[in-house]
Amino acid sequence: MISVVIRNKNEAYYLERTLKILTQFYADDIDEIILVDNQSTDTSLLVGAKYNCKILTSTQFTYGSAINLGIENTKNEIILLLSSHAVPIGNSFFKNSIRFISDKRDWAGVRFINSVKNFERALVHDFKVKQPLDFGLMAACCLVSKSVWEQFKFDELLPFSEDKEWSQRVMKSGYAIYDFNETFFYEINRSEVSQLHRFKNETLATYTLQQDLKFPTDLKIVLSFFKKVFVTNVLQFFKSFSRDFKRFKVKLWISHQLKKS
């Protein structure tokens, strides 16, 4: 059996959809769902209680601390980390996942393939992750070994990329992160403020972890901004206008054809 750990903050709509699918479609594979809630002010807690989740509250939230809190309270060796807006797909998602790792004594985590490019990369590397900071676990939907986690907790100070950093750390210690050809849907409508917050934290974490990368100088940032505003955006406007005008002509043609018939 598998334990599911879901991180959530004010996502009652997505959370209900995910929990409904988990409890109705995968009930035979899951025997506990841990909801780690970041002090939601919507109806998330009511939704969690409705689906008999074990609800934990994260008072000083970071992604790493929420994962650690959730895993600490699980009872199974195999744990699915899941965001409230991610949904596993397939009749045998869990059964196939358990079967996949059953003979792998070195597994620490499993990344589910969610794009053609990732599938091509996995094929080249025989479904073993080789670049953990780029292609390590995606905590939105991934498997984690609790026994490995007991040796290596997730970093609770990183603002982002805690999943990639953990992947790198366990791989350096001899464990493996595997790709697996099951997948999931990931849907969320972020506000502009949320997108900027994510961009800030994700970029900061990337350059903190990959210190060989050089962040652009202030001058390059300024020049890039003006290029975006006065060159790229203008070109995009004319491309969009051209596309819309062609579509406009096609619609007129369709209208005339329909009138003739």
CATH number at residue 129: 3.90.550.10
Residue 241 lies in a domain: yes
Asked if residue 145 and residue 257 are part of one domain, the reply reads no
Residue 70 lies in a domain: yes
Asked if residue 158 and residue 233 are part of one domain, the reply reads no
Sign of the CA dihedral with 72 first, then 15, 180, and 182 last: positive
Asked if residue 155 and residue 245 are part of one domain, the reply reads no
Q: What is the pLDDT of residue 199?
A: 84
pLDDT tens string 132-156:
999 999 999 999 999 999 999 999 9
CB 155 within 8 A of CB 65: no
Residue 63 lies in a domain: yes
Q: What is the pLDDT of residue 210?
A: 83
Residue 198 lies in a domain: no
DSSP summary character for residue 115? S
Residue 126 lies in a domain: yes
Asked if residue 95 and residue 24 are part of one domain, the reply reads yes
Quote the tokens at residue 119.
């599938």
Asked if residue 88 and residue 140 are part of one domain, the reply reads yes
Q: How far does Cα 30 stand from its chain's mean position?
A: 20
The helix (run of H) or strand (run of E) holding residue 186 is strand 183-186
Give CA angle at 143 (141, 147), nearest 5°.
Answer: 145
**Residue owning tokens 């790792």:** 101
Asked if residue 220 and residue 151 are part of one domain, the reply reads no
Residue 197 lies in a domain: no
Please count the structural domains in the chain.
2
Asked if residue 127 and residue 42 are part of one domain, the reply reads yes
Given a cut of 70, the residues of the chain with pLDDT beneath it are none
Residue 207 lies in a domain: no
Those residues whose C-beta lies under 8 Å from the C-beta of residue 77, and which sit 6 or more positions away, are 145, 146, 147
List of E strands, 13-145: 30-37, 54-57, 78-83, 86-89, 107-112, 141-145
Asked if residue 133 and residue 227 are part of one domain, the reply reads no
Q: What is the pLDDT of residue 205?
A: 77
Asked if residue 39 and residue 168 are part of one domain, the reply reads yes
Residue 209 lies in a domain: no
d(CA 70, CA 32): 11
Q: What is the pLDDT of residue 198?
A: 76
DSSP summary character for residue 233? H
Last residue of a domain, one of 137, 170, 188: 188
Q: Can you give the pTM of this predicted structure?
A: 0.87
Residue type present at position 225 = F
d(CA 259, CA 240): 29
Q: Range of 221's domain?
A: 216-261
Asked if residue 230 and residue 125 are part of one domain, the reply reads no
Using only C-alpha atoms, what is the Rg of the chain? 22
Asked if residue 153 and residue 93 are part of one domain, the reply reads yes
Asked if residue 128 and residue 227 are part of one domain, the reply reads no
